[in-house]
Amino acid sequence: MFVSLDFVYMPSADAAAEARHLVEVLGAEHVWSIEAFGTRVAMLRLSPAPPAVLLAEHLDGERPYLVHRVENLEAAMTELEQHGWERAPVGGFPYGPLCGFTVPGGHRVAIYELTRPEVGERMTGRYDF
């Protein structure tokens, strides 16, 4: 069902400060930072291989979401629900529609369908903060 683990979507109290820290201390590549819809999100790469890190000020809670790409979001949501997973409403994500699930133990997983592959290239190098 899962194609790849593409992102770790992490709650952030201050995406700008946390992004700076990851760049300065760990040598992360700062790919983009956007401020829109009342929140700030920064994307960083800690290595050339996925997953990338998304620092997001609008995420609630302490735990990150492991964001997996799927070929068909509707089919994957249905399959996970048949296994007892409870989903959150489908939301917006730069690369396509995304749906989060809380799994046993309180861990969080999200799945998305890549419907906007051009976003990565278009957003690279954008730094709103």
CA angle 55, 24, 53 (to 5 degrees): 25
Which pLDDT does position 6 carry in this prediction?
97
Which tokens is 121 given? 């290239």
Which tokens is 24 given? 């300065």
| DSSP calls for 14-38 | -HHHHHHHHHHHH--EEEEEEEETT
pLDDT along the chain (129 residues), means of 10: 95 98 98 95 97 96 96 96 91 93 90 96 96
Which pLDDT does position 70 carry in this prediction?
98
Residue 96's φ and ψ, nearest 5 degrees, are 150, 180
Which pLDDT does position 28 carry in this prediction?
98
The number of angstroms, rounded, from the C-alpha of 87 to the middle of its chain's C-alpha atoms is 16
Strand arrangement of the beta sheet that strand 52-56 belongs to: 29-36, 39-45, 52-56, 2-11, 65-70, 108-113, 98-102, 86-87
Per DSSP, what are the bridge partners of residue 44? Answer: 30, 53
Which pLDDT does position 18 carry in this prediction?
98
Instruction: Write down the domain spans for the chain.
Output: 2-123
| Torsion over CA: 21, 50, 93, 90 (sign) | negative
Which pLDDT does position 30 carry in this prediction?
98
Which CATH architecture fits 2-123?
Roll (3.10)
Which pLDDT does position 102 carry in this prediction?
85
Rounded to whole angstroms, the Cα distance separating 1 from 47 reads 25
